[in-house]
Chain A
Amino acid sequence: MLRHDARGGRRGRQETDPGDAGAEIAVDALGLQQTVQAAVLSLDKGGRLAQVGLTSQAEKGMASLPIDLIVALELRIIGSAGNPHWSYDRLLKLVSQGHLRPDRLVTRTVRLSDTQSVMEEFATYGTTGYVVITDFTS
């Protein structure tokens, strides 16, 4: 889903493109050079990127971005870290009312002794959804 090339030129519609317009909001939840760039390039004019992912060993904190495009389309890149105390109220309200269901992301529950193997899967992005320890006896 790349709406633009790096110089601001409009790309033709790709067959896999799920929509005609770029996005108003992008979230990069990985922090790889590839994903942060793709996130910026997926935005429409005035779009905003919430950058959540921290970079990997490969980027070491630095990633290159299409600056001309950011200028021309007046894009905004907004960092986001954790969740401040004041923002839990509405989040918990939506969870308690059943509008948000974080438990739906739990794909597996494990024992405490399974922790090591679960952690090892993280390194290869092998985990889908959340793994929660529910048995602390073994």
Chain B
Amino acid sequence: MNLCDDGAQLNLLPGSGGWAEYLRVPNADLDCIVLPDNVNELSAAALGCRYMTAWHAVHDQAAIRGAETSVVHGCGGVGLAAVEIAACLGGDVVAVDVDDAKLDLARALGARATLNVAA
């Protein structure tokens, strides 16, 4: 496990460590997913954690059906991905944030309307 100079652990899950150059994957058939040939490394890096979290939320958990109105509150990494995914799956998307730059990106990714709720 990689540790910081002061001995602190970098991790999300206790004991998992972080910033390693190599990673042991004992159950590779289950824990690894083969990337399609035409998905490049940049897209794969972007998919990790934030994008796939938004996918599960919109596609599996909220189980969006075509043309449903969807409001995404917070346009950070997960929120922006939720905007693109909901729009791709046919949703009518409204994005809410307090930052115009993030809302501009949300619109470029498919939001029909944006709402800046900064006080």
Residues of A close to B68: CB separation below 8 A: 23-25
Residues of B close to A21: CB separation below 8 A: 69
On whether the beta carbons of B46 and A52 are closer than 8 Å, the reply is no
Distance in Å: Cβ of A21 to nearest Cβ of chain B: 7
On whether the beta carbons of B70 and A103 are closer than 8 Å, the reply is no
- Residue among A1, A84, A90, A105 with the highest chain B CB neighbour number at 10 A: A105
A78 to B55, CA, bound (A): 14
Q: How many A-B residue pairs have CB under 8 A?
A: 192
B16 CB within 8 Å of chain A: no
Interface residues of A in 79-97 (CB under 8 A from B): 79-85, 87-88, 90-96
B113 CB within 8 Å of chain A: yes
Distance in Å: Cβ of A1 to nearest Cβ of chain B: 6
A78 to B109, CA, bound (A): 24
Distance in Å: Cβ of B63 to nearest Cβ of chain A: 8
On whether the beta carbons of B102 and A29 are closer than 8 Å, the reply is no
A69 CB within 8 Å of chain B: no
Given A105-B80, A130-B46, A132-B45, A25:B109 Cβ within 8 A: no
On whether the beta carbons of B71 and A25 are closer than 8 Å, the reply is yes
Interface size of B by CB at 8 A reads 63
**Interface range on chain A (Cβ under 8 Å from partner):** 35 or more
On whether the beta carbons of A30 and B84 are closer than 8 Å, the reply is no
Residues of A close to B57: CB separation below 8 A: 27, 50, 52, 80
B25 CB within 8 Å of chain A: no
Given A25-B68, A27-B70, A129-B80, A91:B55 Cβ within 8 A: yes
Residues of A close to B77: CB separation below 8 A: 105, 127, 129-130
